[in-house]
Amino acid sequence: FLDCMTRLHCQHLKVDIDHYIDSTSEKMVDKQDLKQKMVDKWSIKPSLAEKMVDILEFVADKGEFTTEQIVAHFGFNTTTTKRYLRQLSEYGYLEPHGGNKNRTYSRALIQP
Protein backbone atom coordinates (compact mmCIF):
# COMPACT_ATOMS: atom_id res chain seq x y z
CA PHE A 1 0.00 0.00 0.00
CA LEU A 2 2.75 2.47 0.96
CA ASP A 3 4.71 1.74 -2.22
CA CYS A 4 1.61 2.33 -4.32
CA MET A 5 0.83 5.62 -2.57
CA THR A 6 4.44 6.76 -2.89
CA ARG A 7 4.46 6.02 -6.62
CA LEU A 8 1.17 7.88 -7.16
CA HIS A 9 2.44 10.84 -5.17
CA CYS A 10 5.67 10.96 -7.21
CA GLN A 11 3.69 10.78 -10.46
CA HIS A 12 1.52 13.71 -9.39
CA LEU A 13 4.57 15.70 -8.33
CA LYS A 14 6.21 15.09 -11.70
CA VAL A 15 3.07 16.30 -13.52
CA ASP A 16 2.89 19.40 -11.30
CA ILE A 17 6.57 20.18 -11.86
CA ASP A 18 6.20 19.72 -15.63
CA HIS A 19 3.19 22.08 -15.67
CA TYR A 20 5.12 24.67 -13.68
CA ILE A 21 8.13 24.49 -16.00
CA ASP A 22 5.89 24.81 -19.06
CA SER A 23 4.06 27.82 -17.62
CA THR A 24 7.23 29.67 -16.67
CA SER A 25 8.97 29.04 -19.97
CA GLU A 26 5.99 30.54 -21.83
CA LYS A 27 6.30 33.73 -19.77
CA MET A 28 10.08 34.00 -20.10
CA VAL A 29 11.21 36.79 -22.36
CA ASP A 30 14.70 37.18 -23.70
CA LYS A 31 15.75 40.40 -22.00
CA GLN A 32 18.38 41.31 -24.59
CA ASP A 33 16.00 40.65 -27.48
CA LEU A 34 13.27 42.85 -25.98
CA LYS A 35 15.80 45.59 -25.20
CA GLN A 36 17.08 45.54 -28.79
CA LYS A 37 13.51 45.67 -30.16
CA MET A 38 12.83 48.77 -28.07
CA VAL A 39 16.05 50.45 -29.22
CA ASP A 40 15.36 49.67 -32.87
CA LYS A 41 11.64 50.46 -32.87
CA TRP A 42 11.59 53.67 -30.81
CA SER A 43 15.16 54.91 -31.23
CA ILE A 44 15.81 55.08 -27.50
CA LYS A 45 19.14 54.66 -25.76
CA PRO A 46 20.10 51.11 -24.77
CA SER A 47 20.45 52.16 -21.12
CA LEU A 48 16.86 53.46 -21.10
CA ALA A 49 15.60 50.33 -22.83
CA GLU A 50 17.35 48.19 -20.22
CA LYS A 51 15.62 50.05 -17.38
CA MET A 52 12.26 49.64 -19.09
CA VAL A 53 12.84 45.92 -19.62
CA ASP A 54 13.79 45.61 -15.94
CA ILE A 55 10.50 47.28 -15.00
CA LEU A 56 8.54 44.94 -17.28
CA GLU A 57 10.33 41.94 -15.80
CA PHE A 58 9.59 43.15 -12.24
CA VAL A 59 5.87 43.61 -12.92
CA ALA A 60 5.43 40.44 -15.00
CA ASP A 61 3.76 38.52 -12.18
CA LYS A 62 1.89 41.43 -10.61
CA GLY A 63 -1.70 42.33 -11.38
CA GLU A 64 -1.82 46.07 -10.82
CA PHE A 65 1.04 48.12 -9.45
CA THR A 66 1.78 51.73 -8.60
CA THR A 67 4.54 54.19 -9.37
CA GLU A 68 5.55 54.02 -5.71
CA GLN A 69 6.19 50.27 -5.94
CA ILE A 70 8.58 50.83 -8.84
CA VAL A 71 10.30 53.70 -7.00
CA ALA A 72 10.72 51.54 -3.88
CA HIS A 73 12.09 48.56 -5.79
CA PHE A 74 14.49 50.30 -8.20
CA GLY A 75 15.33 53.49 -6.32
CA PHE A 76 14.46 55.73 -9.28
CA ASN A 77 13.10 59.16 -8.42
CA THR A 78 9.33 59.59 -8.78
CA THR A 79 9.40 61.91 -11.80
CA THR A 80 11.71 59.60 -13.74
CA THR A 81 9.59 56.58 -12.85
CA LYS A 82 6.43 58.31 -14.03
CA ARG A 83 8.15 59.12 -17.32
CA TYR A 84 9.24 55.47 -17.76
CA LEU A 85 5.73 54.20 -17.02
CA ARG A 86 4.17 56.77 -19.35
CA GLN A 87 6.53 55.72 -22.15
CA LEU A 88 5.84 52.03 -21.55
CA SER A 89 2.12 52.83 -21.74
CA GLU A 90 2.58 54.79 -24.98
CA TYR A 91 4.59 51.91 -26.46
CA GLY A 92 1.78 49.49 -25.58
CA TYR A 93 3.49 47.44 -22.86
CA LEU A 94 1.43 48.80 -19.95
CA GLU A 95 -2.14 49.98 -19.41
CA PRO A 96 -2.72 52.90 -17.03
CA HIS A 97 -5.80 52.87 -14.78
CA GLY A 98 -7.31 55.77 -12.86
CA GLY A 99 -6.45 59.42 -12.46
CA ASN A 100 -3.09 61.00 -11.82
CA LYS A 101 -3.15 60.73 -8.03
CA ASN A 102 -4.41 57.16 -7.79
CA ARG A 103 -3.04 55.80 -11.05
CA THR A 104 -2.14 52.15 -11.23
CA TYR A 105 -0.72 50.18 -14.12
CA SER A 106 -1.02 46.64 -15.40
CA ARG A 107 0.59 44.68 -18.20
CA ALA A 108 -1.15 45.21 -21.53
CA LEU A 109 -3.11 42.18 -22.66
CA ILE A 110 -1.58 42.35 -26.12
CA GLN A 111 2.13 43.13 -26.19
CA PRO A 112 3.58 45.11 -29.13
Q: What is the pLDDT of residues 85-98, one digit of tens each?
A: 999 999 999 999 99
Where along the chain do its domains lie?
A: 30-107
Q: What is the pLDDT of residues 66-88, one digit of tens each?
A: 999 999 999 999 999 999 999 99
Cut 0.85: pTM above it: no
> From CA 52, how far away is CA 109, in angstroms rounded?
17
The answer, yes or no, to whether residue 25 has pLDDT greater than 80, is: no
Residue 26 has pLDDT above 60, yes or no: no
For 62, phi and psi rounded to 5 degrees?
Answer: -100, 150
Residues 6+ apart with CB under 8 A from 76: 51, 70, 84
What single-letter DSSP state applies at residue 88?
Answer: H
Q: What is the DSSP string of 2-66?
A: HHHHHHHHHHHHHHHHHHHHHHHHHH---HHHHHHHHHHHH---HHHHHHHHHHHHHTTT-SEEE
In this prediction, residue 108 carries a pLDDT of 85
| Predicted pLDDT at 22 | 62
Pick the CATH number of 30-107 from 3.30.70.1710, 1.20.140.10, 1.10.10.10, 2.30.30.280: 1.10.10.10
7-19: per-residue pLDDT in tens? 888 888 888 777 6
Q: Among candidates 74, 112, 73, which has minimal Cα distance to 95?
A: 112
